[in-house]
Structure 1
């Protein structure tokens, strides 16, 4: 592994750290706003952060602001609708209709969808040890979630939410895999910003429909701070770093880091909310890290045929 690759892996660790602690933080805003209204405001801050990164990328390359759209408009728009509309809507609605444990367990399948799609499209081919590492990491995620204090729920009442979460998992896996050919041609920061531009009007319309459900006097400074944190980092900077990693270490390797998110959320819940951690969950964390290290090692090996 080169130092450059290590840099992108450290960026991915930053991503999962932000995503892990984002869950308890964004709940502050969700307690006083409809999820679609939260999206209206948090993606404003995402756009601001990504706009700044896009400007830096354009200055480095010497191209104008909308240059990528002139050559890859339909691909960028399609990727934006997939990653920012379909995924975000399915994820938020799914979480609201099922338990956090069920949602986390279903979302843990996203790296597998990424690896399968990348393999079928021949964007990224794993050695068989890489598949073993991916499955090991997934097994660790299952342990972390199953022994969570939050119960799983696969009853009929939660079926709709679970199906939405499965759709979100497939959408995120597809977004990560399908971004591979684009990030090789377009700066990842620019791609992230430009793909959000056509998606935001849809998110805005969905949010406006629920503005009248918000008691604005109850939206305090803590709620706005949570929205700024989530928008600037969780759906802003981290997505640009995620696409950078897809470009340099491949979609399957990048997606596998997502399995760390439930474990980070577990540790954050323990530190911030004093939630208990079981031995099985610690073992799950070890398996996740072991799977990631195995995948990291197999990048030195030729891909499976």
Structure 2
């Protein structure tokens, strides 16, 4: 039986890339509005995705009856999700946003997985996920900024929690399409539609960009977001998720806050507390337990 460990490593790598981007993107936020920068991230990746798709598969086309599915997934998975991330941070603390838009995501994925896939939730995945959840909580609450769930942050907290719900469902919605198309084709088309829907939100931000004054770190941030965070990360994540199952794959998002804490220490001299180190160890323990579980699906075949 072929080992799934390379796919788990792919999920960990993508989570590290996304986690580090919390720090790297700060450079770009000094020049771009959040809406413009997110549009650049996905918009510049689109032609590269289509060229890669044509090069590897010889065709970029999908069936007409699936176009609406890609459009809906793109609208919620890119447009709405990215806007929610921006506004959740605006209306609540970073610690609150980090906890609520990361920690519940895999739980929602596990709960709604039967609606989209034939995966079964096993005891080992539940235990491993619970252990990893504790590690995430330690990383986020163990930093300088604690979690504050008071009423003044209610709007932002609800937005952050909705990110987990929408993100989990959008991930699961990709699974049936990846039975028919490659992970690359699914990724390319939903990013295309999601970016198109995002464009109107950028209208007020372009005039404020001083293109001639873009520094080297900002170009690095753009390159990192386009090539690594979008082109590489989305393809690797969707491909790996399709191989190991959406339920288990989404628990590997718990690596994101650990990578974000390390990036903050490397680029902005933010301190790493003992609780955060302990949390990272606990996360990896939980994920290792999940990785040892073989993928189980319902045996009934769909004809």
Give the total of aligned pairs: 297
Cα deviation for residue 160 of structure 1 reads 1.9
Deviations 1:236-266 (A, max 9, x none): 3201111101211100111011001101111
Match of 2:273 in 1: 278
Match of 1:27 in 2: 26
Conservation of the 8 A alpha-carbon contact between 1:96 and 1:161: yes
Taking structure 1 as reference, are residues 288 and 210 closer, same or farther at Cα in structure 2, changes over 3 Å only?
A: same
CA distance in 2, matches of 1:229, 1:158: 31
Match of 2:79 in 1: 85
2:93 to 85, 88, 99: 99
Structure 2, unaligned runs of 5 or more: 299-303
Provide the aligned C-alpha RMSD in A.
2.0
Q: TM-score, normalised by structure 1?
A: 0.90
CA distance in 1, matches of 2:194, 2:94: 26
Deviations 1:177-236 (A, max 9, x none): 111111111100111001112222221111123324445565433223212211222123
CA distance in 2, matches of 1:161, 1:300: 36
Cα deviation for residue 121 of structure 1 reads 4.2
Cα deviation for residue 71 of structure 1 reads 4.3
CA distance in 1, matches of 2:74, 2:290: 28
Give the secondary-structure state (helix, strand or coil) at the position aligned to 1:298.
coil
Match of 1:48 in 2: 47
CA distance in 2, matches of 1:289, 1:216: 42
Farther-moved stretch of structure 1 (47-56 vs 72-81):
47-56
Match of 2:143 in 1: 148
Match of 1:220 in 2: 215
Match of 2:177 in 1: 182
Cα deviation for residue 300 of structure 1 reads 6.1
Match of 1:252 in 2: 247
Conservation of the 8 A alpha-carbon contact between 2:117 and 2:175: no
CA distance in 1, matches of 2:127, 2:262: 25
Conservation of the 8 A alpha-carbon contact between 1:12 and 1:245: yes
Cα deviation for residue 34 of structure 1 reads 1.1
Taking structure 1 as reference, are residues 56 and 96 closer, same or farther at Cα in structure 2, changes over 3 Å only?
A: farther
Aligned: 1:73 with 2:72: no
Conservation of the 8 A alpha-carbon contact between 1:36 and 1:206: yes
Cα deviation for residue 301 of structure 1 reads 6.7
Conservation of the 8 A alpha-carbon contact between 2:128 and 2:290: yes
Q: TM-score, normalised by structure 2?
A: 0.90
Structure 1, unaligned runs of 5 or more: none
Taking structure 1 as reference, are residues 57 and 175 closer, same or farther at Cα in structure 2, changes over 3 Å only?
A: farther
Match of 1:157 in 2: 152
Farther-moved stretch of structure 1 (87-96 vs 250-259):
87-96
Match of 2:16 in 1: 17
Match of 2:230 in 1: 235
Cα deviation for residue 137 of structure 1 reads 0.8
CA distance in 2, matches of 1:200, 1:277: 35
Conservation of the 8 A alpha-carbon contact between 2:248 and 2:290: yes
Give the secondary-structure state (helix, strand or coil) at the position aligned to 2:292.
helix
